[in-house]
Amino acid sequence: KEEALRIIIQNSSIRFIYLLCLKGFPRVDTLYRHFREQQDDTHAGLAKRKLRKRTDNEFFLTCYQESVRASMAPENIPPGANCFEVNFVVKHFDSSRHIMATSARIEESLRKVIQNSPIRFICPLCLKGFHGPDPLYHHLRKQQQRDDTHAGLAMRDSSHLRFVTSYRESVRISITARDISRVSGCFSTAFVVEHC
């Protein structure tokens, strides 16, 4: 599941995350704009990452360690905005409290990143996320010319048997046609992640 969650995030526009709520941002400028728009000291401290003054760096380090919930030496924090990069933050988030359950902690953090994003539907074959069913079905129709499995997934309303066969191939589980027809959210993020 952790690998599926990583792929979903990598296939999305999320590149940087805000540490306290694990909210994703596609570009560093949108992340820093978020920091500047908030009115608390932690956001203000995180926004100081760009500045060169020693006191600003110390304030940043304090805020960063608080928001990541981990003690990190300054030399272990990547330069510039790289310290807000998804994989780095997820790896270190809350590490001081969950030393033993690293894999479970990472999976939980990845789930939170996706939950706080607009991703609500997933193509189970390529693990690309979408904010609604229309963009998902557009993706399936567009990809159907490239491979048969996408083509089968696009046939949910027209050929249920072909859809079920393609769905089974994409999630790699044995599931009956009757069970799939009962699952209205077979493309929902939670369902796809659970069965991948």
- Banded pLDDT at 100 (limits 50, 70, 90): very low
Q: Within this chain, do residues 105 and 181 fall inside the same structural domain, yes or no?
A: no
Looking at 115, 140, 171, the residue that finishes a domain is 115
User: Using an 8 Å Cβ cutoff, are 39 and 45 in contact?
Assistant: no
91, 22: one domain: yes
Q: Are residues 129 and 95 in the same domain?
A: no
Domain identity same for 27 and 94: yes
Whether residue 70 sits in one domain with residue 47: yes
- My answer on whether 100 and 145 are in the same domain is no
Name every residue whose Cβ is closer than 8 Å to that of residue 107 and which is 6 or more positions away in sequence.
1, 2, 5
Which among 72, 99, 115 is the end of a domain?
115
Check residue 1 and report its DSSP letter: -
- The total number of structural domains that make up the chain: 2
Among 82, 115, 148, the domain boundary falls at 115
Q: Are 69 and 93 in contact (CB under 8 A)?
A: yes
Q: Which residues contact 184 (CB under 8 A, 6 or more apart)?
A: none
126 shares a domain with 107: no
State the pLDDT confidence band at 97, using cuts at 50, 70 and 90: low
Q: What is the pLDDT of residues 138-194, one digit of tens each?
A: 999 899 888 899 999 998 878 888 888 898 888 877 777 776 755 558 898 988 888
Q: 135 and 62, same structural domain?
A: no
HSE, side-chain direction, 13 A CA sphere, residue 59? 16
Q: How far apart are CA 75 and CA 174, in angstroms?
A: 48
Task: Return the pLDDT at 86.
Answer: 86
Look at residues 119, 127, 95 and name the one whose alpha carbon lies nearest to residue 109: 95
- In this structure, the answer to whether residues 11 and 75 fall within a common structural domain is yes
- State how far the Cα of 171 lies from the Cα of 49, in Å rounded to an integer: 42
Rounded CA separation 26/168 (Å): 32
Q: Please count the other Cβ atoms lying within 10 Å of the Cβ belonging to residue 68.
A: 21
The answer to whether residues 71 and 62 touch, using CB atoms and an 8 Å cutoff, is no
Cα 93 from Cα 189, distance rounded (Å):
22
Residues 65 and 133 in one domain: no
Please state which of the ranges 61-70, 124-133, 138-147, 179-188 shows the lowest mean pLDDT: 179-188
Residue 53 pLDDT greater than 60, yes or no: no
Q: How confident is the model at residue 55, as a pLDDT?
A: 55
Q: Which domain holds residue 15?
A: 2-115
CB atoms within 10 A of CB 50: 12
Locate 71 and state its tokens: 């003690």
Whether residue 145 sits in one domain with residue 55: no
Q: Are residues 94 and 74 in the same domain?
A: yes
